Structure 1
Amino acid sequence: MAMLRIHALVKVLSQANTGGVVSTLLLNSEGVLMAYAGYAEREAKTTAALLSSVWGLNEQEGKGGLHEDRLRQVIVELEEGCVLITPVAGLLLCLCASKEVDAGMIRAKAHALTLHLEGPLLQIGNS
């Protein structure tokens, strides 16, 4: 039976927290925080709940107009920065960045993390 090593997962998530990316979170679709790097725990839990709601709303709205049946990512521009949300192995990966970060850079970091995490997370989900 595969187990989730939280410390190893946090270490991987923290590698994205450079160049203006201030936090990285992994959560389920209900907003339950699985792992995070860069926030205090209370702030991370609140952010996770909000981001899962943003994802859920965009996923519902997008199904009617998209040619594909699933949403690939959401980028929300905020006053102080931006947030990228993308699915990975049935969970949501979220990167929060300052406003100086280019959208291409945050997408590249999310893509790299997704490739790195998908296999191990799917193994855990299937066990």
Structure 2
Amino acid sequence: MLKQKALVDVLGQVNTNGVDGSWLFNKEGLLLAFVGTQSKTVAANVSSALLASVWTALERRANDLTESILVLEDGVIAFTLIARSMLLAVRSNKKTEVGMVRAKLHSLAAYLEQPILSISHDQL
């Protein structure tokens, strides 16, 4: 069983050295957990819905898509597919190296993969 408090604690561990937000949400954009600073212009649940929409559009062009990195004006958002049905995203400021963001995303995804897979199998 994956507990909400434990999930928030794990997501919060990557929020260092320029990384200021991490999300876990499903492919439909339903936010399950968010840790980080809330943007004054866009709420975390809106961001997850937008990222899920971007993922769907990218996935139509590449069937085997597993990761995407958006380099934006004010920072970087990297997101990846975990457990076949969930998306994990990490946001950083513009001073953070893309490689560091990607490394944090991969380590967090590897850590969460098995617990999320076990939950999804329990629900089948």
TM-score (ref. length: structure 2): 0.91
How far is 1:4 from its partner? 2.9
* Gapped regions of structure 2 (runs ≥ 5): none
Corresponding residue for residue 50 of structure 1: 50
Q: CA deviation at 1:62?
A: 2.1
Q: Distance in 2 between matches of 1:39 and 1:104?
A: 21
Give the letter aligned to residue 103 of structure 1. V
Matches of 1:72 and 1:4, distance apart in 2? 23
Q: Which amino acid aligns with 1:91?
A: M
1:1-127 alignment runs, 5 A limit = 3-40=1-38, 43-63=43-63, 70-89=64-83, 90-127=85-122
Distance 1:91 1:44 in 2: 16
Unaligned 5+ runs, structure 1 = 64-69
- d(CA) in 2 for partners of 1:112 and 1:53? 24
Question: Structure 1 length normalisation: TM-score?
Answer: 0.89
Identity of aligned residues (%): 41
Q: Give aligned pairs, total.
A: 119
**SS of residue paired to 2:16:** coil
Alpha-carbon separation, structure 2, partners of 1:37 and 1:94: 11
Deviation at 1:60, TM superposition (A): 0.7
Does the residue aligned with 1:23 lie in a helix, a strand or coil? strand
Shift in Å at residue 39 of structure 1?
Answer: 3.9
